[in-house]
Amino acid sequence: MSGSEVLIRLWAPLADSAFAVVDGQRLPMRPQDPGYWTIDLPAGTDYLLAIDDQEPRPDPRSAQQPFGVHGPSRAFDTSAYRWNDAQWPGIDVVGSVFYELHVGTFTPAGTLDSAIDKLDHLVRLGVQTVELMPVVPFPGDRGWGYDGVDLYAVHEAYGGPAALQRFVDAAHGRGLAVCLDVVYNHFGPAGNYAPVFAPYFTDKHDTPWGSAINLDDEHSDGVRDFICENAIRWLREFHIDALRLDAVHALVDEALQHILAELSERVDAIRPSLPRPVALIAESDLNQPSMVEPRSAGGMGMDAQWADDVHHALHAYLTDETFGYYVDFGPASVLRQALEDVFVHNGSYSTFRERNWGAPVPKNLDRRRFVVFTQNHDQVGNRGLGDRPDVKLPAGAVAGGAALLLLSPFTPLLFQGQEWGTRRPFLFFTDHEPELGAAVTEGRLAEFQSHDWEAIYGPDPAIPDPQALSTFENSKLDWWELDDPPNARMLAWYRRLIELRHEFFPTGGGQVHTDFGDDWFRMVHGPVTVIICPGPRPARVDEQRERIIAGWGEASTAEQTVRLPAHSAVVLTD
């Protein structure tokens, strides 16, 4: 134990008494603000909390769970770490190049400390913001992190909270910002003891995970504080630069002020006291520009949001996959709409949802406010076999998609290993206890059947069992692939595209204009033109610009004409 004292704060508005249980001894907690109880414990103390005569349980605001989600909490002093990033001014992550990684599969060791050793690779690539998939504790050792239950802690298998501080500090030392994926729309199915202490849930609404987080029912103020204080804690005490808010469309909230608007308001209030810029980024499938519009105009005040339609349009165009949620995507005309207008479903009919969906994005809304990608954990990992586009597509088609992504006006995001064209899968994996694990396995198979994956995998494919250790191991990156010439060539291509993005669009870009033919697609973004020929037939395109600054394949220009071989891409400027 370090000798420092840590304030333990419990929200239990219906309790008559509360206790911290240390070595079997019940230590009374002090009533504080209405509904809250506090006690000071020495840093390093293992403890449980109890109300009235109930059984002791882990702290819902635990900073560390060294014995797993069912074991005692540990008092952790976040102020004990000596930061080295005071001279780093930070960056505006909106418009920067993001790189999403899963700590457990990013390196062979699967820890935050081992991930530090790969940060120089990201710097050389040209990445500016590292996005971590959720790091809060979840059942078992391996998982995606979206089943977390201790939202104030860091998963012990990743190294715990001290390791996260070291990782962020090391990233800042290299000029990299860190974005943390946080989940406020549900708790995981195992190890969630928060409802023992307070009404964290309500039967007023239903969600895919059961009863909804209590955002608008009796005693909801304490839940809203739990969420907002959690976000502020990551920004202040762990120096996180941005938060990616998972699936905000599942935050069912009929209060006068939506929880997202309240969160953005409370983060705005602390921005002047923070030493560097911070951002809130929402994952939303609602296709509503109000997500990033200011609160004064009725918006949620988010700094940015993910835009799945751009991914769907580009993926379906390149792969010809038009099943499931890709059903309204595929033609070049739809890709054109996505790149120019952001949302394909902007009030139009969504066949997959069987209803009209979304709203138009104003032309003057900064396109950097939309995060786009050709791969991410969902779009790869939720495929039946976790297969990446590189498995199916010729390298030239992948290169063309990367050029449209990285030279677009949006905020681009890459997914671990994408930059060298890895064909390693990223699968859905869990480490639940046997009974829950069996239910997860059955649910995964049912989900597969509901998404028409047979259209690409054929009948009765062998879907990997999420519970199998091999499913996790097969999802780990193989860094030795960088020594293979095809992978090295793809890595050089990504580096060149990012270099061009930094050169031509150092503060972001504006509108794009697109057109297309039977065998080609063109995007004009300011001084840069991208033309891709993703299919098996060569193309000839009339083009005013003749200076090639990057190319995949032996493209040539002559007399205001660009000739592209099959499976190629070219970037031109004046």
The separation between CA 37 and the C-alpha centre of its own chain, rounded to angstroms, equals: 34
Nearest-angstrom CA–CA distance, 224 and 417: 37
pLDDT in tens, 62-75: 999 999 999 999 99
Token match 């939506």: residue? 258
**How confident is residue 1, by pLDDT bands cut at 50, 70 and 90?**
very low
DSSP type of residue 363: T
Residue 445, pLDDT score: 74
Which listed residue (156, 216, 283, 431) is catalytic?
A: 283
Amino acid type, 496: R
Q: Which residues are annotated as a binding site for substrate?
A: 244-249, 308-312, 377-382
573: its two tokens = 């400027």
CA–CA distance, 93 with 199 (Å, rounded to integer):
36
Binding residues are 244-249, 308-312, 377-382
Q: At what angle do helices 485-504 and 395-406 cross, to 10 degrees?
A: 20
Residue bearing the bigger pLDDT, 456 or 409: 409
The two three-digit tokens of residue 286, written as one number: 């609602």
Residue 210: per-residue pLDDT: 81
Q: Which two tokens stand for residue 146?
A: 């979206």
Whole-angstrom distance, CA of residue 454 vs CA of residue 474: 22
| pLDDT computed for residue 33 by the predictor | 87
State the catalytic residue, choosing from 147, 246, 285, 431: 246
Cα-Cα end-to-end distance for the chain: 64
Mean pLDDT of 24-43: 96
Could you tell me which residues come within 8 angstroms of residue 47 by beta carbon, excluding any fewer than 6 positions away? 8, 20, 21, 22, 41, 59, 72, 73, 74, 75
Helix axes 308-319, 395-406, angle to 10 degrees: 150
Share of the chain above pLDDT 70, in %: 99
Q: What mean pLDDT is reported for the chain? A: 96
Site of tokens 């992190």: 145
Residue 448 CB partners (closer than 8 Å, separation 6+): 384, 463
- For residue 283, indicate whether it is catalytic: yes
Compute φ and ψ for 34, nearest 5 degrees: -50, 120
Beta bridge partners of 514: 523
**pLDDT one-digit tens code per residue, 388-433:** 999 999 999 999 999 999 999 999 999 999 999 999 999 999 999 9
Residue 343 in contact with residue 361, Cβ under 8 Å? yes
Is 2's pLDDT higher than 70? Answer: no
Specify whether 246 is catalytic: yes
- Cβ atoms within 10 Å, residue 106: 23
What pLDDT, on a 0 to 100 scale, did the predictor assign at position 451? 66
Three-state secondary-structure class, residue 416: coil
The answer to whether 347 touches 360, Cβ cutoff 8 Å, is yes
β-pairing, 411-415 vs 46-51, is unpaired
Domains and CATH numbers, the chain: 5-79 (2.60.40.10), 102-504 (3.20.20.80), 513-573 (2.60.40.1180)
